[in-house]
Amino acid sequence: MTIELENVSEEESKEQTEERSDKKQQHKRKGGCFKTVMLAFAMVIVVGVSFFAGRQSVMTSSGFGTGLNNGTILRKLSLLEAYTGKYYLNKIDADNVEQNIYKGFAKGLQDPYAEYYTKEEFKQLTEEDSGEYEGIGISVAKDTDTGYAEIVSVFKDQPAYKAGLKTGDLIIAVNKKSTMNMELQEVVSEIKKKENKKVVLTIYRDKKSKDYTVKKSSVQLDTVSYKMKEKKIGYIAVSQFLENTGDQFDKAVTALEKKGMKSLIIDLRDNGGGLLNTCTQMVSRVIDKDKLIVYTKDKEGNKEEFKSDSGKTLDIPIIILVNGNTASASEIMTGCLKDYGKATVVGTTTYGKGIVQNIMPLTDGSAIKFTIAKYYTPNGTDIHKKGIKPDVKVKMSDAQWKKAQTDEKADKQLKKAIELLEK
């Protein structure tokens, strides 16, 4: 059983409080309330994306049940099959019907994070979590206002970037197939079809639509970037928590330490989450060994703790930059360092995604994902639908944020972090 801290989803975004209205604007800007984010290099469900916590289990048919009347369901399915087999005009794709029955089961759970993956979809997911895959180099989210997939970020020097795609673009069709109300995994699968070396994306931007042909290639995602700023202030930006992110973060810290780093800014803005084991690896680089990082509780009240294991403590002032799209694993890192007084949090209230999913592989290569527990910061704080409030609140408008992407001087939050560290 794979524990996952999925990225924020559509239904949760509808339940934010008024005091977080500024965050809603960020959500809308960066991906329709950041609905279940999927990296689409051609893409990663990041899931957001998967979090491997190493908990294994074997289930048998005894002792488990959902209350479904299987006999009635089977009889009804047989009847539906008989009717369609006799009267349906077109040829029936039996495998497609079967896969959609399973997808319907997941949807029926009314869990915004629940999803059934076909064998091919699950294979794509596990490949994407590694940070290297065949794709185009973008991340997408569901835009609830339009029903289309929206590009949340475009990764520099990757195929989509070279083709001219931009953050905020709406993907209204993939290979001439409309994406309206299409599940994000379907969008990802269409983009990543192995038989196609190129993908045609119909993009809606500035009230106009245009086709972009993007050649796919092997994409290796660098999720960590770093540099030394004035007065020996280190700066590390983390975009996702994938399998290779922990090692990249460690290399960044080591490189900055060799340059004489005296303080550090960790930028988790617009980081929608990632793998739990990667998150704990990175936090372990900052706090003492055997310190509690996060714990979970399931519906039976069973508690599982995750602790640091490296003991490579960073004993310097740290500031974490956050915004309304800082979610899931990013909130675990933020909450942990805040609870221990290891970091000052600057920005706006985080998203507030405090529940855990698992991905359970099935024997035929497919898998199902659903919510299994809530997680809590070391101090026992439940951040679900509440988020983490910054120690120093610094708002940025959409226009300011957009400008800050190309002009660092316009980044009010980063500027405040530097001011605090220079005192």
Catalytic residues: 328, 339, 353
Q: How far is it, in rounded angstroms, from Cα 47 to Cα 281?
A: 18
Contact 356, 373 (CB under 8 A): yes
Count the Cβ atoms, other than its own, within 10 Å of residue 70: 9
Q: How far is it, in rounded angstroms, from Cα 162 to Cα 88?
A: 46
| SS3 (DSSP) at 20 | helix
H or E element at residue 128: helix 119-129
Sheet containing 263-267: give its strands across.
224-229, 233-238, 263-267, 318-322, 344-347, 392-393
Q: Are strands 367-376 and 115-117 parallel, antiparallel or unpaired?
A: antiparallel
Which two structure tokens, joined as six digits, stand for 100? 């959609």
Q: What residues have CB less than 8 Å from 356, skipping those under 6 apart?
A: 3, 4, 5, 51, 276, 296, 371, 372, 373, 374, 375
Which two structure tokens, joined as six digits, stand for 172? 């209204």
Radius of gyration of the chain measured on its C-alpha atoms: 22
